[in-house]
């Protein structure tokens, strides 16, 4: 059970309170984590996750009449998600997406990718990187980079190269680690940044375990005990001998400058990633980049993608306002 007092319920929507009430944690998670998250258990975890998420994904595809196409870019599978009609001013825009799932679960056609295709009304290129334990760091990051490089240089099969000025990028949870690490390497390589805007949802940017919320939200507050997440990452994704504070492995420790893309970060107060978001906000702000942090009351890791919870609808609208901001301002200048 997740702890939820009357005073905490009072500041949540009834939908959010009902959601939290229905969360049941594995008992003795801290103790059992090494067993529950060992590589041999991952197929079962994935299956459970996909069984839970699959129907919601199908529903989103149908509801928004999304067109799904599987392509291969730089040898990596990529899912292209297209809304049925794209506004003329959005035709040149695209969203580069790196899905989340603690590096071991999840899919490029997850709720995040589908929801953003529909609500931001853009074509989404969602990288089907190799999960762990089949691949360890930095394989998935380098696959994302190979896709990014080819989309910018050659373009998607049969299309013109993507224009970085019209490119958004999104990473959720572990996907944010992959995406930010990828952008850091891309910058070193001289590749342009996706300057239309970066969206980091509940980003996991510090794999060292540091941070206030990694302790305060570790047990009975968030969707899942932190011990399980740490087990999944350490037993499946982390390569032997990695320094957990390596700035490409835990991008919170990297240096940033004012040329980093405009970034919006979302977290919730129950989210284990609250401190990741807070710290990255200050890091980018101090670097002179444009950054906005949205913190949602009583919300858990990844709440953003719920189709009906009002807090999720609210934050999604705010994110889209940030991402579309310059365009909306530009439109006002039209006669």
Question: Quick check: 274 binds its own copies (CB under 8 A)?
Answer: yes
* One of 136, 285, 290, 327 touching its own copies (CB under 8 A): 285
Query: Mask of contacts with its own copies, 210-239, x by CB under 8 A?
Result: xxxxxxxx---x------------------
Contact 217, 319 (CB under 8 A): no
Does 209 interact with its own copies (rule: CB under 8 A)? yes
* Closer by beta carbon to its own copies, 13 or else 97: 13
Closest CA to 36 of 282, 251, 232, 279: 232
- Nearest approach, Cβ of residue 312 and its own copies (Å): 13
- What's the farthest any 2 CA atoms get from each other in the chain? 65
We find the least distance from the C-beta atom of residue 246 to its own copies, in angstroms, to be 15
Q: Least separation, in Å, of the C-beta of 272 and its own copies?
A: 11
**Closest distance of CB 265 from its own copies, Å:** 11
Angle of helix 174-189 versus helix 139-153 axis, rounded to 10: 60
| Binding pattern for the stretch 161-200 against its own copies, x by CB under 8 A and - elsewhere | ----------------------------------------
CB-nearer residue toward its own copies: 2 or 182:
2
**Residue written as tokens 């944690």?**
25
Q: Which of 71, 72, 91, 75 is nearest to 83 (CA)?
A: 91
Structure tokens belonging to residue 243: 């320094």
Nearer to its own copies, 155 or 244 (CB): 244
Residue 261 to residue 139: CA distance in whole angstroms:
24
Which member of 38, 92, 166, 269 binds its own copies (CB under 8 A)?
A: 269
11 binds its own copies (CB under 8 A): yes
Strand 167-172, strand 94-98: pairing: parallel
Convert 154-220 into a string of H (helix), E (strand) and C (coil). Answer: CCCCCCCCCCHHHEEEEEECHHHHHHHHHHHHHHHHCCCCCCCEEEEECCCCCCCCCCHHHHHCCCC
Nearest to its own copies of 17, 86 (CB atom): 17
Residues at the interface with its own copies (CB under 8 A): 3, 5, 7-8, 10-11, 208-217, 221, 269-270, 274-275, 278-279, 281-282, 285-286, 293, 295-298, 314, 318
């Amino acid at each position: 059970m997740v702890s939820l007092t009357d005073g905490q319920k009072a500041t949540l929507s009834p939908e959010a309170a009902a959601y939290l009430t229905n969360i049941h944690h594995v008992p003795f998670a801290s103790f059992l984590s090494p067993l529950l998250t060992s590589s041999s258990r991952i197929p079962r975890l994935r299956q459970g996750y996909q069984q839970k998420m699959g129907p919601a994904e199908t529903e989103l595809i149908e509801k928004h009449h999304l067109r799904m196409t599987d392509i291969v870019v730089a040898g990596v599978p990529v899912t292209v998600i297209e809304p049925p009609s794209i506004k003329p001013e959005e035709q040149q825009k695209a969203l580069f997406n790196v899905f989340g799932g603690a590096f071991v679960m999840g899919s490029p056609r997850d709720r995040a990718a589908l929801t953003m295709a529909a609500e931001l009304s853009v074509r989404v290129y969602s990288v089907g990187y190799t999960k762990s334990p089949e691949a360890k760091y930095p394989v998935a990051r380098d696959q994302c980079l190979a896709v990014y490089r080819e989309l910018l240089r050659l373009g998607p099969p049969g299309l013109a190269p993507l224009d970085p000025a019209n490119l958004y990028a999104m990473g959720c949870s572990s996907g944010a680690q992959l995406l930010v690490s990828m952008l850091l390497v891309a910058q070193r390589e001289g590749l342009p940044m996706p300057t239309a805007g970066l969206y980091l949802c509940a980003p996991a940017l510090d794999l060292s375990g540091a941070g206030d919320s990694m302790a305060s939200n570790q047990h009975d507050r968030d969707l899942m005990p932190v011990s399980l997440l740490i087990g999944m990452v350490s037993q499946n994704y982390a390569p032997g001998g990695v320094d957990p504070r390596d700035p490409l492995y835990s991008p919170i420790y990297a240096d940033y400058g004012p040329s980093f893309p405009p970034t919006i970060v979302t977290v919730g107060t129950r989210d284990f990633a609250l401190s990741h978001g807070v710290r990255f906000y200050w890091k980018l702000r101090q670097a002179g980049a444009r950054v906005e942090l949205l913190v949602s009351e009583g919300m858990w890791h990844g709440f953003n993608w719920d189709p009906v919870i009002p807090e999720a609808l609210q934050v999604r609208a705010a994110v889209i306002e940030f991402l579309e901001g310059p365009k909306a301002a530009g439109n006002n200048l039209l006669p």
